[in-house]
Amino acid sequence: MTHAHSIGRGSVLFACFAMLAALSGCSTTVRAPVIDRLPAQPSAKAAAQVKTPDGRPASYVVQKGDTLYSVALEHGQDYKDLAQWNGIQAPYTIRIGQILRMVPPQDEVATPLKPMPALQATPLPATEAALKTAPKALKLPYSEQALAQLEQGAQSAAPITAPKPEAAKAEPPKPAAVPEPVKPNAGDEEEKIDWGWPAEGKILANFNDNGNAKGIDIGGSLGQPILAAAAGKVVHTGSTLRGYGKLIIIKHNTNYFSVYAHNNQILVREGQMVVKGQKIAEMGNSDADRVKLHFEIRRLGKPVDPLKYLPNDRTP
C-alpha cells in the first residue's frame, strides 16, 4: 500500500513538473514589437534651410544662451507672436535644440484640392428618346376644315431665315479703357518710415557692423526724455536682455524695429501704440557704465546703422 501510494505521488509530481515546463516554454514566445509613433523632428540643418519670402528663416534651432526675447529681436519678431506660434506659455522658457517656428501657421502653403471630374449626361436609350422627343400623331377625319388646319400648321412651321450680317444692327462703340492707378509695392511701403532722433546729446559710440556695437550711444543727463523715433507699437519692455538694462522695443512695421536701452524709467507698456516724438522713457544708466541711450534700428531683425536713417538736423 505504501509502495503504490509513493508511485501515485511520484506520478502527480511528474505531471506537475511537466505542466510547469510547458508553461515556462509558453512564456518564452516572441514578444510583440514596440512601435514608436512619435513624429520625426526635422534636423537643425533642414530647419535652417527653409526661408520666408523676405529671406528670414522659417525655423530656428535654439542655441546655448538664447531666450525667447533674444530670438525674437534677432529675427525681427514680437516675442508674444513666437510664443503663440510655438505654444509656449509664460515664463516663456525654451530649451537648447528646440526648433521654433518663426512664421505664423497660416503662412503654410495648403495642399490644393483635386478638381472634381466633369459630370457627363447619360444618353437615353433609343426607344426612350423616341418616346420623349417624337411628336404625337393625331388622326383626324377628312374634311375641308381639317385640311385647312394642316396647311396653316405647315406654314407656321416654316423655317425662319436669319438676318443678313449687313442688315444686323451695329453695336455702339465701346468706351476707351481707363488705365488703373499704379498701386505702390507693399515692400516699398514697408521701407517708408518718418524717422526722428530719439534723444538730444553727443554721440558716444557709432554703429559697427563687424563688432558688438549694434547701434549708437547718445550721451545725456539722468532723467532726460527719450522719444519714440517713429510711430509704432511697443512690443517689449523690461530688463530681459543681457547688456541692455531697462529697454523698450517698438515695432514700426513688418520690416523695422527700434530699440531703446539703459533707461532709468519706462513710461509705456507692451501693446501700446505710440507716435513719433512721444516721450516713452527717461535716460539712465541701467546695466551701463554711464548715463546714456543705446539706440538701435533693426531691419528684418538685423541691426543697421541708425545714422543712415535718422535726419541730419539732429532735432528729435
SS3 of 142-184: the string is CCHHHHHHHHHHHHHCCCCCCCCHHHCCCCCCCCCCCCCCCCC
> Between residues 162 and 254, which one has the greater pLDDT?
254
Topology agreement, domain 44-107 and domain 203-308: no
Please give the pLDDT value at position 57: 87
The pTM assigned to this predicted structure is: 0.61
Q: Note whether 42 and 49 are within 8 A (CB).
A: no
Q: Does domain 203-308 have CATH number 3.40.50.720?
A: no
- With H, G, I as helix, E, B as strand and everything else as coil, classify residue 299: strand
Q: Assign 47 a pLDDT band (cuts: 50, 70, 90).
A: low
Which burial class, exposed, middle or buried, applies to 309 when counting CB atoms under 10 A from its CB (0-12, 13-18, 19+)? middle
> CA-to-CA distance for 215 and 76, rounded, in angstroms?
15
Q: Note whether 291 and 222 are within 8 A (CB).
A: yes
Rounded to an integer, what is the distance from CA 215 to the centroid of its chain? 30
Mean pLDDT across 180-207:
79
Evaluate if residue 56 carries a pLDDT over 60: yes
Mean pLDDT across 143-163:
58
CA triple 182-184-190, angle to 5 deg: 175
Q: Note whether 85 and 101 are within 8 A (CB).
A: yes
Q: Which amino acid is at 307?
A: L
Please give the pLDDT value at position 65: 92
Exposure class string for 88-122: b at 16+ Cβ within 10 A, else e = beeebebeeeebbbbbeeeeeeeeeeeeeeeeeee
Domain ranges of the chain: 44-107, 203-308
CATH superfamily of 44-107: LysM domain (3.10.350.10)
Q: Assign 93 a pLDDT band (cuts: 50, 70, 90).
A: very high
